[in-house]
A and B are shown apart, each in its own frame.
Chain A
């Protein structure tokens, strides 16, 4: 690529930051937004700029980072410009109702000022999610294995799975809350349930579609039944199992929010609901931002694990 095009691409994010700062100070505020103690939005912009420049310096020496930086620079610039556009409409005009559309200063400020309280809630959500997920995924894997490998188990259990599995998790909430001794136990059950069904389904179908020839090959090589299950059926079903875990994870996010908004007293879902009830929409946005980052990180982690485990086959779902 021509040098000057690369230079223009690289300079775009810097321009976007400068433009944002200029808009922030240059245009007159509508005066409807509550003001904050500090210009948090500008701070964030400056942090972003500093990080960008740091990467730019590193990229002089590392080719891989340079290529990535050049590739991503226009996207970064576009994102910064888009956020500037939104914030300008929110703070400099009266087009949108101030109550539902707080300024970025307020949202970022809240994320900063309440960071410890938010962190507590994030940890509470994560704890619940991980416990529920672990139960759901392991029970789902075992049920799927039994259903997929053993025809008799399949005969008796398949109808049960087919009837109970598709029930939306949220429909269980009232019952779970009254049957389980603690709210926490009910929540774990509900999340586990959300993960269990897709994992069971995909594990069982993965095991069932194991190539008959692979089983026969391993028989002729002297493998026992247990060895065949562990070393042929399960690895062969792995892509499908991961798909199940992926669906399960996505549905566990939804369930997590639903249970936290229903009768919980901690967690990010609860926080969002609480902030809404007290008409603090900056808190609602802050919560949404945290959830977006959290869920995205979890899925990224999941796909990283998958790429490790499934090096032998690539690209089922791109993330």
Chain B
């Protein structure tokens, strides 16, 4: 099984725009082990460094200290072993859906041998008939689907999802959540998703990592011990939600809830 990630004592500082002020510490002494093939959600207050962590795993930024190790190798730069689905869709507007999805394969000069994968992923995400369409001709949901396909088509070991469904309406969102779970089940990769949506995190993940405010640490790791496929209206689902909201100090003033989970 591949896709094992160890985050070891990672610290990430950003230089302040205003030089006289101190630099901003986004992450401090952050450690986390992620099992191969698991689905992890990162949740936490706004600006707590969730996206920073994802970018570090993606290799788009490097840690100020500490290290992130993927299958025994230190992550230094972006690579096609880690797919990245960005906030919003960010398809290349000058390429058709088909060519957007094929972009990575062509960039790595493996398109000839993997041509079939492009069509397979178009089928998988249900964009048949839209192969030759440009991004501006598609709905937000379709854009997001194509963007996922683009990140997935190179068969990465790890898929990093930065609020992939944030801009979508509730129904499209729920549909896509199920589709992402389908893909995950089928391709068996490690999934790491940043989200603001507690329900989404509980519905989709094996583990929800609750992060503290900046400089961010792991506040709690909650195992979601629910059978799949999950039902959004389950009672235990609600209990997980209260527990997470409580850790985030958003639970309100309900005292002494007994958690039996």
User: Which A residues lie at the B interface, using CB under 8 A?
Assistant: 211, 213-214, 216-224, 227, 231-232, 235-236, 238, 310-313
Contact = CB atoms under 8 A, between A and B. Distances in A.
Interface in B78-117: 78-80, 82-84, 86, 88, 90, 92-95, 103-104, 106-108
Q: Which 9 A-B pairs have the closest CB atoms?
A: A221-B104, A222-B80, A223-B107, A220-B84, A219-B78, A235-B94, A222-B108, A312-B134, A220-B78
B107 A313 contact: no
Given A214-B92, A312-B94, A312-B134, A220 B103 contact: no
23 contacts: A211-B90, A214-B90, A216-B84, A217-B84, A218-B104, A219-B59, A219-B60, A219-B77, A220-B78, A220-B151, A221-B80, A221-B103, A221-B104, A221-B150, A221-B154, A222-B80, A222-B104, A222-B154, A231-B106, A235-B94, A236-B94, A311-B134, A313-B94
B49 interface: no
Question: Which of the listed residues B77, B79, B92, B134 has the most CB atoms from chain A within 10 Å of its own CB?
Answer: B92
B131 to A, nearest CB: 15
Given A214-B92, A219-B78, A222-B80, A231 B107 contact: yes
Contacts, number: 74
**Interface residue tally on B, bucketed by range:** 20 to 34
B90 A224 contact: no
Nearest to B80: A222
B255 to A, nearest CB: 45
Nearest to A215: B60
Interface of B: 58-60, 77-80, 82-84, 86, 88, 90, 92-95, 103-104, 106-108, 134-136, 150-151, 154
A220 B80 CA distance: 6
Main secondary structure of the interface of A (DSSP, over half): helix
Main secondary structure of the interface of B (DSSP, over half): loop
A91 to B, nearest CB: 55
Nearest to A217: B90
A232 B92 contact: yes
A211 B90 CA distance: 9
A311 B154 CA distance: 28
A216 B86 contact: yes
A312 B93 contact: yes
Contacts of A310: 94
B82 A220 contact: yes
A223 B90 CA distance: 16
Given A220-B82, A222-B80, A227 B107 contact: yes
B111 to A, nearest CB: 12
Given A219-B78, A221-B104, 20 more contacts: A213-B86, A213-B88, A214-B90, A217-B84, A218-B104, A219-B59, A220-B59, A220-B60, A220-B82, A220-B83, A221-B103, A221-B151, A222-B79, A223-B103, A231-B106, A236-B94, A310-B94, A312-B95, A312-B135, A313-B136
Nearest to B55: A216
A160 B90 CA distance: 35
Contact of A224 (B82, B95, B107, B134): B107
Contacts of A217: 84, 86, 90, 92, 150
Given A213-B86, A238-B94, A218 B107 contact: yes
B107 A221 contact: yes
A238 B94 CA distance: 9
